[in-house]
Amino acid sequence: MNPQDIQSVIPTAPGWPLLGSTIPMVKNPTKLLQNSYNKYGEIFWLKLFGIRIVKMLGPDANEFLLLNKGAVFANGPAWSFFIGKFFTRGIMLLDFKEHSHHRRIMQEAFKKSALEAYLKRMNPAIAVGIGQWPIPPARTKPHRNRSEESNILVFSAIKQLTLDLATNVFMGKELGPEADAINQAFFDCVKGGTAIIRFPVPLLKWHKALKGRQVLEKFFHAQIADKKQSQSNDMLSVLCRAENEVGERFSDEDIVNHMIFLMMAAHDTTTITLTSIIYQLAKHPAWQERVRQESIALGKSVIGYSDLDQLEGITLVMKEALRLCAPVPALPRMTVEDCEYKGFHIPKGTIVSISPYFTHAMETYWPNPYHFDPDRFAKHRREDKVHPYAWIPFGGGAHKCIGLHFADLQVKAILHQMLLKYRWSVDPDYRMPMDLSALPTPRDKLPLHMEAI
Ligand code: HEM
């Protein structure tokens, strides 16, 4: 049998003429993938955004793609298709030798001493940020209908907070009047990735994303000269000074590209993780109380780096929230060589994509997968050990999230302060409505009732 014949064995999910499965994918990817998985199994062709891609589902497929034995998968040409124009030469879009060269230099900005300094910068800014929320004092009598009395849109509040923290921690400054423009530019860049019309038509997603990139470039370029002179410990200053073992550094262009990518990589993912945790803690008040007691027991108004591992309950809750809502729902690659997966031939030049979001809800690996059950990650259960690639919110292999410890400390630092200051609740019938067209976000921004303790 020649490779062409074997290739035809990969089944094709039918779709509409030209658009293929783009619309069902943007509207309800979980349903499309579940239906296709039930029909075709763990590997099938899908037509999306005008091209044919191979979708691979499940932990074995995740392992195959992320471990990338034989260097057959490249990030650049795959991610570039979705976000390349807006996140040009971000580290996630670099490959092989060039990628590892950049990653070695960037690692400077994520070592323990750097993370400790970021946490110190973050703590007071978190207190100011959450202190400004319009939170009333505790009630004496319970209200009948909580959904009618929500006083905070959690997603918007957290997005603002993480942006304020990012500008402080990443750039060592607070954003003034330009904050709205920067926030909008990030938002537009991320949304651009799922544009159906993928050329610049004014007012449409692609065009807005390109404009967003221009705003960000100008913004970061303006900071570099000062930062190179500074001894500050914000991330931009650290990147300006960072060097590898043989003293090589980033160019100005690299610094701008990496900063735009880092801000994007950190901002939305952490916002989604926190939103999802806060939602689950509102739906599960016993868990909220359990983690609050842990924070109280720590006896500190803010956490230090050495406290991170003490907050065992928050660690479990965070893992479970990341399982139920993987902030990066799919990871694409392009084959740079022909390759074979479980007897299926995948030709060179194919975009292949795996799905953490889908894997995390597979019943075969996760009992009662839609149930919020943080203890499944506890020592006595460790359901995630069922397969090394069953829980992959941070990816794996050479491109595994470089910011995962940063995310851990930021999420815990914010939650710790929130738990000590506020209590929150939601109507028991409420279900967070998700928009899964790009990164998963609540359509209604998650309205909650929150009160001071
Ligand atoms: C809970 C929060 C986060 C999640 C779920 C997350 C998820 C991911 C995933 C899945 C990847 C791998 C992409 C791929 O293989 O194609 C990734 C890569 C990356 N992440 Fe994160 N991330 C988070 C937070 C952060 C933060 C806070 C930063 C920076 C401060 C960051 C910076 C990066 C970078 C630079 C890469 C590319 C690494 C490389 O290609 O070598 N991430 N992230």
- The Cα 91–Cα 281 span in angstroms is 34
Residue 141: pLDDT band (50, 70, 90) is low
CA 293 to ligand 1 centroid distance, Å: 31
Mean pLDDT of 118-124: 95
In one-letter notation, the amino acid at residue 62 is N
Tokens of 113: 């001493």
Q: Three-class SS of residue 436?
A: coil
Is residue 280 predicted with pLDDT exceeding 70? Answer: yes
pLDDT at residue 205, rounded to an integer: 87
Ligand 1, atom 6: closest residue by C-alpha: 394
pLDDT at residue 13, rounded to an integer: 83
pLDDT at residue 263, rounded to an integer: 85
Q: Which residues lie below 8 Å from residue 304, measured CB to CB, with a gap of 6+?
A: 119
Residue ranges around ligand 1 (CB below 6 Å): 75, 91-92, 103, 262, 265-266, 269-270, 273, 327-328, 331, 393-395, 399, 401-403, 406-407
Is residue 109 predicted with pLDDT exceeding 60? Answer: yes
Phi-psi region of 247 (alpha: psi -120 to 50; beta: other; left: phi over 0): left
pLDDT at residue 193, rounded to an integer: 66
Is residue 122 predicted with pLDDT exceeding 90? Answer: yes
CA 7 to ligand 1 centroid distance, Å: 32
Is residue 363 predicted with pLDDT exceeding 80? Answer: yes
- The Cα 271–Cα 49 span in angstroms is 27
Mind giving me the DSSP string for 47-106? EETTEEEEEE-SHHHHHHHHH-TTS-EESHHHHIIIIITTSTT-GGG--HHHHHHHHHHH
Ligand 1, atom 31: closest residue by C-alpha: 403
pLDDT at residue 1, rounded to an integer: 46
Domains and CATH numbers, the chain: 3-452 (1.10.630.10)
pLDDT at residue 194, rounded to an integer: 65
Mind giving me the DSSP string for 242-274? ---TT-----HHHHHHHHHHHHHHHHHHHHHHH
Mean pLDDT of 29-50: 91
pLDDT, tens only, 310-348: 899 999 999 999 999 999 999 999 999 999 999 999 999
Is residue 392 predicted with pLDDT exceeding 70? Answer: yes
Mind giving me the DSSP string for 391-412? --TT--GGGS-TTHHHHHHHHH
Residue 148: pLDDT band (50, 70, 90) is low
